[in-house]
Structure 1
Amino acid sequence: MVKQKERSDKDASIGFNQKKVRAYNERLVLSLIQRHGALAKSEITRRSGLSAQAVSVIIGELEKDGLLLRGEPIRGRVGQPSVPMRLNPDGVFSFGLKVGRRSADLILIDFAGETRASARITYSYPMPDLVKAFATQGVRDMSLQIGADQQDKIAGIGIALPFQLWSWEDKVGVAAGTMDVWKTFDIAQELESATGLNAYTQNDCTAACSAEVAFGRGMAFSDSLYIFVGTFVGGGVALNNSIYSGRTRNAGALASMPMPGPDGEDKQLIDFASLYFLEAMLKEKGLDPTLLQQQSFDWTNLGAILEEWLDRAAHYIALAIASATAIIDFEVAIVDGTMPASVRDALVEKIRDAISQRNWQGIELPVVLEGTLGSPARALGGASLPLFIRYLLDQNMLFNHT
């Protein structure tokens, strides 16, 4: 759960004092520039609703703090040339840790969202001590790449992991109770103690959805359903350009969506559209399921096995999209996952075909698009958490200014 400072009712009734207003306006300016890549002062003034003088003061302060850089002047026909402002990549750094059921990834990103360093480990199933040791050593090693004089620019570490990581142990292939240790293991607290950095957690697929909205093609759409196909399928919901997690943070929990099995039995989307199912198919054929974790492996070598999995996954994902759209009128459904881009594209094409072959009377299904971030989406979403918590605005708050 993302940590937040407690605020009393008395504090809430006071409203923004001058310092808080200034902090909000600075976040607004930084967020506008982050969303658009680069903006001149005049454009920031227009979009923010702030006065030109206020924008000049804020930009001056942010430049002094090393958070903004000036671009090359752009000369127009009349008046002074405009100077685009952009985020200083070296202004802030952040770590992102993705804890998956088959692998863990650690990345270091800069303020512009670019990955500066990365590391990965694979395993049959995740255990807390292994993940903690991997992340702790990785943070130490990657911090050396920043430089001793820039250590105070590290905003923190965002952790993207499945909630209730111990669930579905039978599908992961471990004995019941093996992963119960995760029920009492506070990974954020453990990493804070080990690294000295503030740590925040978020559901892994929600983090991937956040990354797509903040850095990918999801930025272009107001309302989108996000589907991430990993060892277990998952998802996220974006409404009004912002992540919607719901009352209990179950929004977008597509893995649990009820699905009819081939024989009419009650199943869930996880049973048909997850990579663990493809792993099981490989085992049945006497093939090594860890091939899917090898980045150099060409998935097209799987031939008919891959096609069978793609057809089944596409059919059930199409049903999931239809079910979700019957509740919320999504503009697009974005599909991504831990698979080669060519396989993801083939899956999206089959989902489109599955949708076109059915009569969805009463609803109009969203356009199905490929995601743009792939496997790194979850770690990138985790790494963006400290940046948004400390420097940027929630996309929903930014919407009226874009």
Structure 2
Amino acid sequence: MTDTTEKPAQAVATKETRGTNQTGMRAQNERLVLTLIRRHGALAKAEIARLTGLSAQTVSVIMRSLEDEGLLLKGEPMRGKVGQPSVPMRLNPEGAYFLGLKVGRRSAEMILTDFLGQIIARRKQIYAYPDFSDVLAFSLDAVDKLRLSLPADQRPRIAGLGIAIPFQLWDWARMIGVEPGKMAAWQSRDLLVELSGALDMQVYLQNDATSACSAELVFGTGEQPANFLHVFIGFFIGGGVVLNGTLFTGPTGNAGAIGPMPVVDLGGKTRQLMDLASLVVLERRLTEAGLDSGMLWDSPEGWDVPETLLNEWTAEAANAIARAAHSAMSVIDFEAVKIDGWMPENLRNALVRDVRARFDGLDFTGLERPVVETGTVGADARSLGAASQPLLGRFLIGYTI
């Protein structure tokens, strides 16, 4: 008899990368210290030495350097029974800033975050389709305006720009509802190259769904499972993969691209997941009913969607996601499936409940049934994932392979 009881997701085991006391490795060790403090919160020097295997002297030198650079702040001394009080060190929110650009099928958005991942300011543009020149112009203007939102002495601390974008965007023209020629520029021009040439900062690029998964891994709250499938629902549905506590992107950066996965719909017909569990489906139904679908893209909250349409979409989407996750379990035994998206929180919670219920009707013989959880980042996951790229690229270790 198949056990359909959901098992609690296991937290990532503590397996911090060991440090080295050898000359020339300080940059790696500094990344290690910053990663530990980001994962565990404020830490004293003795605790960092214990976790890394570095000597107390080496840790002291690193901590002093990071403090001098403005990346760490001293906390209140913790007095024990014997010896000098220990002083925990924490990340300085103003230590570094990051820009994150999300390019979507209906909108582009750029955010500015601090060292802790808190969004300080944002700029947004809504459009019928992503025109390359318009997106480039918006991006350059947004960088200038977001820079100016910081005090003058803080602007040099912007450490880079990350881009979250659907790969092969030109292939999606007809599904977006425009002539392919209007998006052909995406095939001949490179946003990463053009922004890198125009800006005095390092620029990174990642698939948008993978970026959403990165945000959950880096900025998500609570204990994270060691292995999980991350599902993000936007204009189209996409996914990301975390293995052994590390974001796995694959050789082309497209691992977890579950949108094209074949699934059986509620009518028994085999279709692609993205044709059933994407917001474009809801947009089309609103348009067919003569209703305004633009509010879907204005904000992830406050949608005014007829309950009948919303319930129909949720039922079909939950069935499709459950079947896709069930198939994925045959390849990788994920401990959890995390579901997030550009949608109201109550809708996301209802979708998670429905996916759990759909699991009850699937045969998990020979498989471990994963926990189904709500993502903890929310609608900003793609933008935050974009901003996490320069954070990971310049300051942290151990999140990506």
TM-score normalised by structure 2 residue count: 0.91
Matched, 1:157 2:148: no
Q: Find the residue that maps to 1:60 and give its secondary structure.
A: helix
Q: Which of the numbers 386, 392, 395 marks the counterpart of 1:388?
A: 392
Segments ≥4 residues shifted beyond 4 Å: 261-266
Q: Which of the numbers 23, 45, 67 marks the counterpart of 1:18?
A: 23
Q: Find the residue that maps to 1:24 and give its secondary structure.
A: helix
The structure that is helix-richer by fraction is 1
Matched, 1:322 2:330: no
Deviation at 1:149, TM superposition (A): 2.5
Any residues of structure 2 matched to 1:251-270 within 5 Å, and which? 251-260=255-264, 266-270=270-274
Q: Distance in 2 between matches of 1:297 and 1:41?
A: 43
Matched, 1:68 2:69: no
Whether the 8 Å contact between 2:286 and 2:292 is mirrored in structure 1 is: yes
Q: Distance in 1 between matches of 2:361 and 2:251?
A: 35
RMSD, matched Cα: 2.0
Aligned counterpart, 1:188: 192
Q: Distance in 2 between matches of 1:291 and 1:132?
A: 24
Aligned counterpart, 1:145: 149
The one-letter code matched in structure 2 to 1:18 is T
Any residues of structure 2 matched to 1:122-271 within 5 Å, and which? 122-217=126-221, 220-260=224-264, 266-271=270-275
The one-letter code matched in structure 2 to 1:166 is W
Whether the 8 Å contact between 1:228 and 1:335 is mirrored in structure 2 is: yes
Deviation at 1:171, TM superposition (A): 1.8
Q: 1:178 to 1:295 in 2, by over 3 A?
A: same
Q: Which of the numbers 327, 345, 352 marks the counterpart of 1:348?
A: 352
Deviation at 1:134, TM superposition (A): 1.2
Deviation at 1:169, TM superposition (A): 2.0
Q: Which of the numbers 34, 37, 43 marks the counterpart of 1:39?
A: 43
Q: Which of the numbers 259, 266, 272 marks the counterpart of 2:276?
A: 272
Deviation at 1:286, TM superposition (A): 1.3
Q: Distance in 1 between matches of 2:293 and 2:283?
A: 5
Greater Cα shift, 330-339 or 250-259: 250-259
Whether the 8 Å contact between 2:213 and 2:241 is mirrored in structure 1 is: yes
Whether the 8 Å contact between 2:170 and 2:180 is mirrored in structure 1 is: no
Q: Distance in 1 between matches of 2:254 and 2:269?
A: 24
Q: 1:34 to 1:296 in 2, by over 3 A?
A: closer
Report how many aligned residue pairs link the two structures: 382
Matched, 1:94 2:98: yes
Matched, 1:304 2:308: yes
Q: 1:396 to 1:80 in 2, by over 3 A?
A: farther
Deviation at 1:30, TM superposition (A): 0.7
Q: 1:69 to 1:297 in 2, by over 3 A?
A: closer
Matched, 1:120 2:124: yes
Greater Cα shift, 148-157 or 222-231: 148-157
Greater Cα shift, 244-253 or 27-36: 244-253
Gaps of 5+ in 1: 1-14, 398-402
Aligned counterpart, 1:8: none
Q: Distance in 1 between matches of 2:380 and 2:237?
A: 15
Deviation at 1:278, TM superposition (A): 0.6
Deviation at 1:297, TM superposition (A): 6.0
Q: Distance in 2 between matches of 1:81 and 1:17?
A: 29
Aligned counterpart, 1:107: 111
Aligned counterpart, 2:293: 289
Whether the 8 Å contact between 1:104 and 1:131 is mirrored in structure 2 is: yes
Gaps of 5+ in 2: 1-19
Give CA deviations for 1:345-395 in whole Å, capped at 9, x if unaligned. 111111111111333222122100001111211111111111111111132
The one-letter code matched in structure 2 to 1:167 is D
The one-letter code matched in structure 2 to 1:250 is N
Deviation at 1:290, TM superposition (A): 1.1
Greater Cα shift, 208-217 or 294-303: 294-303
Q: Find the residue that maps to 2:54 and give its secondary structure.
A: coil
Q: Distance in 2 between matches of 1:307 and 1:262?
A: 13
Q: Distance in 2 between matches of 1:298 and 1:152?
A: 37
Q: Find the residue that maps to 1:148 and give its secondary structure.
A: coil
Deviation at 1:195, TM superposition (A): 2.6
Q: Which of the numbers 52, 76, 94 marks the counterpart of 1:48?
A: 52
The one-letter code matched in structure 2 to 1:395 is Y
Whether the 8 Å contact between 2:98 and 2:391 is mirrored in structure 1 is: yes
Deviation at 1:191, TM superposition (A): 1.4
Deviation at 1:77, TM superposition (A): 3.1
Aligned counterpart, 2:336: 332
Identity %: 49
Aligned counterpart, 2:8: none
Q: Distance in 1 between matches of 2:400 and 2:293?
A: 41
The one-letter code matched in structure 1 to 2:137 is A
Q: Which of the numbers 52, 63, 67 marks the counterpart of 1:59?
A: 63
Give CA deviations for 1:294-351 in whole Å, capped at 9, x if unaligned. 3286336421100000000000000011011111011111000000111101111111
Q: Distance in 1 between matches of 2:181 and 2:379?
A: 28
Whether the 8 Å contact between 1:334 and 1:371 is mirrored in structure 2 is: yes
Q: Distance in 2 between matches of 1:230 and 1:297?
A: 14
Give CA deviations for 1:242-269 in whole Å, capped at 9, x if unaligned. 1111123331001111223567655211
Q: Distance in 1 between matches of 2:357 and 2:266?
A: 20
Aligned counterpart, 1:10: none
